[in-house]
Amino acid sequence: MDKKVILITGASAGIGKAFAEELLKDGHTVYGAARRVDKMDTIAKQGVKVLAMDVTDEAAMAQGIDTIIKAEGRIDVLINNAGFGLMGAIEDTPLSDARYQLEVNLFGVARLTQLVLPHMRKQRSGTIINISSIGGKFAMPLGGWYHASKFALEAMSDALRNEVKQFGINVVVIEPGGIQSEWGGIAVDNLLKVSGKGPYAPMANKFVKAFTQSIDAKLPGPTEIVKLVRKAIAAKKPKTRYHAGHMAGLALFMRWLLPDNAFDKMMSSQLK
């Protein structure tokens, strides 16, 4: 694999941290960006170049890209990984929280992509990898705003792919299923905070129980998702989408196969 200059957002934990560690082992020049710089001491000691970056902060994003270009003269791969899952019934969720979900999961991706593209166009090469979810293809109850952000990310990626391929730039979507990360715990805590009481509490409690059981079933680690990113980076003509993780293939197949009402019944059965 040719050595690349790579920027990864959300590199302080979870799959973002795994991306940084493993791509560094491949010999790439890796920049890891996150709000929580103090959480990146470990990867910094390994050789990852750490950037303080909040993807809702225009100045921080612009400064981060400028730092990379001044130091390396190029940027070959952008991995838009930063994000979180806002859980709660649509009726219960404050719209200010919903807007922040979209700000991080969608508009942060869009703005950082805008900042990177002029350099990739100049190079006539580059790969943009957007970390979506199997939840970008179907929506479960109590996750409406999270799913909305990932559905939108999928659509934006499709449009972007066809805009920039003329410049030799690839756009790839990665759709993880269930994997071990701190994402789930944070999402569940927010769900109970928003909808743990009131008319949606029974559904919320069933969701939490089902999620806890999936954790007990030992979700896979991030290794399979790292493999997909490696494939996308190495390929001259990568696939438009890759998926892996617990239930990913089956869930996407069932969404493709079943009509809406049948798929709804299948989803509801998971909360009984």
Spot the catalytic one: 4, 17, 49, 150. Answer: 150
CA–chain centroid gap for 35, Å, is 15
User: Domain locations in the chain?
Assistant: 5-269
Query: What are φ and ψ of residue 193, in 5° steps?
Result: -65, -40
Q: Is 12 a catalytic residue?
A: yes
Q: Is 96 a catalytic residue?
A: no
CA dihedral 133, 134, 136, 142 (to 10 degrees): -100
Element (H, E) at 146: helix 144-164
pTM: 0.94
Q: Is 146 a catalytic residue?
A: yes
3.40.50.720, 3.60.20.10, 3.40.50.261, 3.40.50.20: CATH of 5-269: 3.40.50.720
Q: Is 242 a catalytic residue?
A: no
What is the pLDDT tens value at each position of the chain, 272 positions in all?
589 999 999 999 999 999 999 999 999 999 999 998 999 999 999 999 999 999 999 999 999 999 999 999 999 999 999 999 999 999 999 999 999 999 999 999 999 999 999 999 999 999 999 999 999 999 999 999 999 999 999 999 999 999 999 999 999 999 999 887 766 678 888 899 999 999 999 999 998 888 777 665 677 888 999 999 999 999 999 999 999 988 899 999 999 999 999 999 988 877 76
Spot the catalytic one: 4, 17, 49, 132. Answer: 132
Q: Could you count the other beta carbons within 10 Å of the beta carbon of residue 121?
A: 15
Spot the catalytic one: 4, 31, 146, 195. Answer: 146
